[in-house]
Structure 1
């Protein structure tokens, strides 16, 4: 039996690369596995040799101790891999196929899946709608920051690359299809970005930069990206974005200087529940700041796309309300301006085929936009530490040296 190694959460601020079980086509008991999922047969699944798997800001929330994630949970929901074993019920995916794995696990059979709402599949997580690999409260499916991983409902979930050799030459771009690129793009689509739009994106981390690249792909006239970290703002400017440094005060003043008016057509929250203040309060956590600011600066009748993560359990919340995901929102502002809000998991399969074609046909360079930086599996703990310090990079783990090859 082949071995396996994976990146495991060991407690606040700590991850380790550990020996872990080689995956089976059946859910085993383990950290975070819902009791009703133990022993669940997955003859509809495959085993992947992981080619690339990325560190995500959502992973970082867990590693900081800001969720109820259990120790020894193998992390990683951004996965691209080569099929090495197929279950007896798999019909169309074959051994040797190179595939992207949507981070949302979906059965393809329930009402929500049939309606394209794959982020809130009704069957894969007994606790609530929606599941993901290696993530807290998402059913206990083992994560992909490992050498091998099991993917259920493979015929439905996997996006097979039509030209394997061409795909291998673009791994650092195509690895973004599992989450970050569709999620950022979904934020832009949800905000109503169209040709000629002016767009404000809060957060210049990888999802914010992906949202900016997505907004450009949708034809936005001006894309403004806001952050506190100078290196991340410089990364946004590297592919044609305007920037706002929110440590210098109210974004409206800087938007006015850029556009001549203090508002935008479309707003995207790519920060989430660990948001910080603006101006002199920029160093302090203020979780409702981004959403309230977006309502202020988005034109009446506009929309907010909210791909940033919000949770219902945050042990590190600044007050009792924040610890249960309750924020002080100025909903009256949103109502008075007739703003629309779209939040929740991105339904990756709604977008990943088209974005794959954009990558393969050189219409977008998403790896360059997010500054994809390849590291080995053993370097993952340092990657987490660097990312936590605000590194303007998207860390791509290469467990088998396939990117280098």
Structure 2
């Protein structure tokens, strides 16, 4: 039997590389697995040998102890891999194919999947619509920060790269297709970014930088990124973004200095529920970003909200926040006729187009998010550095495919 090592959440602030079972075509019991999913046959699945598997800011919420994730939950929903085994019912995906795995697990059969709403598939998570690999309350599908991972509904879920050699030349860019590039693009498109738009993006982490990259790709005239981390702001400036230093206070005045007016056409929340207030030493204030975006977005505009919000946060600042109840100025949004789009990005809606943009040299997403490959055994260090604010997108390299 082939060995399999994986990155697991142990307790708040701690991850470890552990030994886990090699995948089989059946969902087994384990940390976070919904009992209704135990024993579920996966003859429609494949087993991937992992080529790249990224550390995500969403993973960090769990690792910080800000969710109800159980100990030993295997992490990792940003997966790129080579097919090494196919299930009995797989028809089109073959051994040797190099594929991107959308972080949403979707059946391809339910009403939502047929309407391209793959982030809220009705058949893969007994708890609620929507599922993902290695994530709390998402059905218990084992994460992909590992040597090998099981991918269900493979003919539907996998995006096969058309030329393996060509794909390997751009593999660090293509590794961003599993989540952050489509998620950033979803944030930008749902905010209404188009040719000539002025755009404000809250957060200069990898998703924020991916949203900024997407805004440029969509033809925005000015892309402004706000954050408190100067290293991340410098990364945004490196590919043509304007920046706002939120340690200096509210963004409105700095936006006016850039644009001549204190508002933008479109806005993206790439921060989520661990938002902080503005100014030096600002403390956590989870509604800050959403209320600020409503304030600075022009009437009739839209907010794309790929930033994660949860219904259970043990570390919330008050009882309301612990249940995901935030003090939003919804009256502001109503008065200005603003539109909001929240929830998981339906990755399959965008990943093929973005793959073609990468393969044809229209975008350099790995450079823009400062992607860096590290060995699987260095995952705890990568998590710690990312949590400390490193302006880096860490890509784990479990099987030595990456240089």
> Which residue of structure 2 lines up, in the alignment, with residue 44 of structure 1?
44
| CA deviation map 1:331-387 (0-9, x unaligned) | 000000000000000000000000000000000000000000110000000000000
> Which residue of structure 1 lines up, in the alignment, with residue 301 of structure 2?
302
* Alpha-carbon separation, structure 2, partners of 1:33 and 1:208: 31
| CA deviation map 1:236-285 (0-9, x unaligned) | 000000000011011000000000000000000000000000124x5300
**Secondary structure of the corresponding residue to residue 321 of structure 1:** helix
> Structure 2-normalised TM-score?
1.00
* Alpha-carbon separation, structure 2, partners of 1:342 and 1:248: 29
Q: CA deviation at 1:401?
A: 1.1
> Which residue of structure 2 lines up, in the alignment, with residue 116 of structure 1?
116
Structure 1 gaps of 5+ residues are: none
Q: CA deviation at 1:321?
A: 0.4
| CA deviation map 1:4-41 (0-9, x unaligned) | 00000001000000000100111000000000000000
Identify which range, 395-404 or 295-304, moves more after superposition.
395-404
* Alpha-carbon separation, structure 1, partners of 2:180 and 2:249: 28
| CA deviation map 1:18-76 (0-9, x unaligned) | 00010011100000000000000000000000000000000000000000000000000
> Which residue of structure 2 lines up, in the alignment, with residue 213 of structure 1?
213
> Which residue of structure 2 lines up, in the alignment, with residue 73 of structure 1?
73
User: Does 1:141 pair with 2:141?
Assistant: yes
> Which residue of structure 1 lines up, in the alignment, with residue 198 of structure 2?
198
> Which residue of structure 1 lines up, in the alignment, with residue 100 of structure 2?
100
User: What is the RMSD of the two structures over their aligned residues, measured on CA atoms?
Assistant: 0.5
> Which residue of structure 1 lines up, in the alignment, with residue 392 of structure 2?
393
> Which residue of structure 2 lines up, in the alignment, with residue 382 of structure 1?
381
* Alpha-carbon separation, structure 2, partners of 1:250 and 1:52: 38
| CA deviation map 1:138-175 (0-9, x unaligned) | 00000000000000000000000000000011111000
**Secondary structure of the corresponding residue to residue 279 of structure 1:** coil
> Which residue of structure 1 lines up, in the alignment, with residue 330 of structure 2?
331
> Which residue of structure 2 lines up, in the alignment, with residue 341 of structure 1?
340
> Which residue of structure 1 lines up, in the alignment, with residue 179 of structure 2?
179
Matches within 5 A, 1:29-40: 29-40=29-40
* Alpha-carbon separation, structure 1, partners of 2:275 and 2:67: 15
* Alpha-carbon separation, structure 2, partners of 1:403 and 1:170: 10
* Alpha-carbon separation, structure 2, partners of 1:24 and 1:11: 27
**Secondary structure of the corresponding residue to residue 53 of structure 2:** strand
* Alpha-carbon separation, structure 2, partners of 1:182 and 1:193: 14
Matches within 5 A, 1:161-176: 161-176=161-176
> Which residue of structure 2 lines up, in the alignment, with residue 314 of structure 1?
313
* Alpha-carbon separation, structure 2, partners of 1:337 and 1:38: 48
Number of positions where the alignment pairs a residue of Structure 1 with one of Structure 2? 403
* Alpha-carbon separation, structure 1, partners of 2:361 and 2:80: 19
* Alpha-carbon separation, structure 1, partners of 2:115 and 2:339: 21
* Alpha-carbon separation, structure 1, partners of 2:234 and 2:105: 35
* Alpha-carbon separation, structure 1, partners of 2:250 and 2:150: 46
* Alpha-carbon separation, structure 2, partners of 1:89 and 1:301: 48
* Alpha-carbon separation, structure 1, partners of 2:292 and 2:262: 12
> Which residue of structure 1 lines up, in the alignment, with residue 188 of structure 2?
188
> Which residue of structure 2 lines up, in the alignment, with residue 351 of structure 1?
350
> Which residue of structure 2 lines up, in the alignment, with residue 226 of structure 1?
226
* Alpha-carbon separation, structure 2, partners of 1:59 and 1:338: 34
**Secondary structure of the corresponding residue to residue 294 of structure 1:** helix
> Structure 1-normalised TM-score?
0.99
* Alpha-carbon separation, structure 1, partners of 2:292 and 2:282: 16
> Which residue of structure 2 lines up, in the alignment, with residue 8 of structure 1?
8
| CA deviation map 1:308-328 (0-9, x unaligned) | 000000000000000000000
**Secondary structure of the corresponding residue to residue 82 of structure 1:** strand
> Which residue of structure 2 lines up, in the alignment, with residue 365 of structure 1?
364
Structure 2 gaps of 5+ residues are: none
Q: CA deviation at 1:209?
A: 0.1
> Which residue of structure 1 lines up, in the alignment, with residue 262 of structure 2?
262
> Which residue of structure 2 lines up, in the alignment, with residue 279 of structure 1?
279
